[in-house]
Amino acid sequence: MAQKDLSMLYAKAKTDTEIALAQIRRAHNLPAFLMASIIDGVSAKLQAECVMELSERSLAYAEEIAKENEKKEEQHNASDES
């Protein structure tokens, strides 16, 4: 995805999130301090998901690199035997 596309996606998602939060706050007649507390809780859950996602991606990347290194070593060993 191009950086411009990513920037546009970010801006649109941020705006949509802000609108949704304002609608929820109005619908439930929440004072700012309660809404902030709710958002903090949701943000903490999202941060935990980010950590898990990053961990999974890092593990997958490490496995991919290990496989590539094994292939290179096998090719190197095969060429040494020739």
Q: What is the pTM (predicted TM-score) of this model?
A: 0.64
Query: How far is it, in rounded angstroms, from Cα 35 to Cα 69?
Result: 50
Query: How far is it, in rounded angstroms, from Cα 23 to Cα 46?
Result: 21
Average pLDDT of span 55-64: 94
Average pLDDT of span 29-52: 97
Instruction: Decide if pLDDT at 74 tops 90.
Output: no
Domain ranges of the chain: 1-30, 33-82
Average pLDDT of span 47-63: 95
Average pLDDT of span 58-79: 90
**Token pair 């970010």 is at which residue?**
10
Q: CB of 44 within 8 A of CB of 26? A: no
Query: How far is it, in rounded angstroms, from Cα 56 to Cα 50?
Result: 10
**Token pair 């991919």 is at which residue?**
64
Q: State the pLDDT at residue 76.
A: 85
